[in-house]
Amino acid sequence: MKTSFRMHTLVAALGLAGASLLFPAHAQIKIAMVIPATGPLTQYGDMIKEGVNTAVEMANAAGGIKGQKVETVIVDDACEPKQGPVAANRVVNDKIHYVVGPVCSGASIAAAPIYNNEGVVVVTPSATSPTLTDGKNYHFIFRTIGRDDQQGPSAARFIAQKIKPKKVAVLHDKQSYGQGIAANVRDDLKKAGIDVVLFEGINAGDSDYSAVITKLKSAGVDFVYYGGYHPEMGLLLRQAGEQGLKVKMMGPEGVGNPEINAIAGPAVEGMLLTLPADFASNPKNAAVVKAFKDKKRDPSGAFQLTSYAAAAVILDSIKAVGDDAKKVADYMHKTTFETPLGATSWDAKGDLKSFEFQVFEWHKDGSKSLVK
């Protein structure tokens, strides 16, 4: 006790703001947030930061984990598959044993073998590609979001039952996430008897999609599904409007970013998308929602509460079995957690046993509304 007192006296003397007598200075649990801190998808990284920081702040305010303070470290992979292993090696070299992220499927798939081989517990709140977990026999990789083969059928079912289009085009960005979910939607639409007249990839990062829009007009499509992220979807919406192609468009949760409004302009009004269910509206989550709002954070975004849940299950597991990544992974595989997502548990692959996606309509003021 005397050592601890002297340590804190020294901290105070050095004027280190925020030091607390609650936490021994040497005892810290670190969680890496592997996110796009640079590049065109940084807002998704911001969503993850909001969720993880809220969970960590609440844990620390309650005394930490067995007296240990929880700290977060940001590791940037730019959502790039080539940067995924680089980020993973940084986490390993820094001796961090827990990760929330990576955010994007391509980077997650590329980095997962490193994390798993090195015994780092990874919980991605946003990577939906089945390729991440199928056939891998990973023990340390989990997610707090559903898979594309859950999200795709939800979208296809809505299109077939509610929209009932005659000719559909399915576009994608040629990447793991976008092409994967687009293929799921295409296959399920065909099973439902919907005519998919075009399945085509576009180049992410291009600024002119007039050629593909001309192709859509020539094919006479009356509905477009796009698998990918908001920068390209925003351009497709805007340029389709400019070229007189007036069709409804739909995308996955990757297009659900407020930045799309600046790209698409008024053409974004009425865009359809699948998102995780609106967990923020559940009265059971009132305390967590309040914690977000007290910090002026948005609990209703695409990944804030899935990120909160990812951090919370890691912290709850450490509290239960100690700061040992192998024991934490073992505990997570056999335990059902109560999180803002509801009862949260995983199958042997690290995929959630259940997860709900819903269809929303996006508006030009940046808001969204549930489509029933």
**Of 355, 248, 340, 273, the residue nearest 51 (C-alpha):** 340
- Same domain assignment for residues 183 and 206: yes
pLDDT confidence band for 372 (50 / 70 / 90):
confident
Taking the C-alpha atoms of residue 225 and residue 175, their distance in angstroms, rounded to an integer, is: 15
For the ranges 16-20, 137-141, 259-263, 298-302, the lowest mean pLDDT is seen at: 16-20
- Same domain assignment for residues 128 and 224: no
**Contact by Cβ (8 Å): 188, 153:** yes
pLDDT exceeds cutoff 70 at 4 = no
- Same domain assignment for residues 8 and 134: yes
For the ranges 10-24, 167-181, 308-322, 327-341, the lowest mean pLDDT is seen at: 10-24
User: Percent helix, strand, coil in the chain (nearest 5)?
Assistant: 45, 20, 35
Q: What is the pLDDT of residue 23?
A: 53
- Token pair 């986490």 is at which residue? 91
- Same domain assignment for residues 285 and 215: no
Q: What is the pLDDT of residue 127?
A: 96
Q: Which residues contact 298 (CB under 8 A, 6 or more apart)?
A: 50, 292, 304
14 exposure class (CB count in 10 Å sphere: 0-12, 13-18, 19+): exposed
pLDDT confidence band for 3 (50 / 70 / 90):
very low
pLDDT tens digit sequence for 282-320: 999 999 999 999 999 999 999 999 999 999 999 999 999
Share of the chain above pLDDT 90, in %: 90
- Same domain assignment for residues 47 and 120: yes
Q: Which residues contact 15 (CB under 8 A, 6 or more apart)?
A: none
Mean pLDDT, the chain, integer: 92
- Same domain assignment for residues 256 and 287: no
pLDDT exceeds cutoff 50 at 18 = no
pLDDT exceeds cutoff 50 at 16 = no
pLDDT tens digit sequence for 337-371: 999 999 999 999 999 999 999 999 999 998 999 99
Share of the chain above pLDDT 70, in %: 93
Query: Which two structure tokens, joined as six digits, stand for 134?
Result: 């199928």
- Same domain assignment for residues 189 and 334: no
Q: In the chain, count H helices and then E strands.
A: 12, 14
Q: Which residues contact 302 (CB under 8 A, 6 or more apart)?
A: 44, 47, 126, 253, 256, 257, 275, 276
Residues in the chain: 372
Per the structure, the complete domain to which residue 130 belongs is given by 2-13+20-145+281-355
Q: What is the pLDDT of residue 27?
A: 55
Q: Kindly report the pTM of this predicted structure.
A: 0.87
Taking the C-alpha atoms of residue 173 and residue 266, their distance in angstroms, rounded to an integer, is: 23
pLDDT exceeds cutoff 60 at 6 = no
Taking the C-alpha atoms of residue 232 and residue 197, their distance in angstroms, rounded to an integer, is: 21
- Same domain assignment for residues 155 and 129: no
Q: What is the pLDDT of residue 12?
A: 33
Q: What is the pLDDT of residue 331?
A: 98
The CATH number of the domain holding residue 255 is 3.40.50.2300
pLDDT tens digit sequence for 228-271: 999 999 999 999 999 999 999 999 999 998 999 999 999 999 99
**Contact by Cβ (8 Å): 243, 212:** no
Characterize the bridge pairing of strands 368-370 and 357-362.
Answer: antiparallel
Give the DSSP letter string of 124-179. ESS---GGGTTTT--SSEEESS--HHHHHHHHHHHIIIII--SEEEEEE-SSHHHH
- Domain count along the chain: 2
**Contact by Cβ (8 Å): 301, 97:** no
Taking the C-alpha atoms of residue 47 and residue 136, their distance in angstroms, rounded to an integer, is: 28
- Same domain assignment for residues 228 and 342: no
**Contact by Cβ (8 Å): 198, 219:** yes
Q: What is the pLDDT of residue 129?
A: 94
pLDDT exceeds cutoff 50 at 28 = yes
pLDDT tens digit sequence for 212-236: 999 999 999 999 999 999 999 999 9
- Same domain assignment for residues 350 and 229: no
Mean per-residue pLDDT for 179-208? 96
The H or E element that residue 28 is part of is strand 28-35
- Same domain assignment for residues 257 and 295: no
Taking the C-alpha atoms of residue 199 and residue 210, their distance in angstroms, rounded to an integer, is: 16
- Same domain assignment for residues 107 and 201: no
pLDDT exceeds cutoff 50 at 14 = no
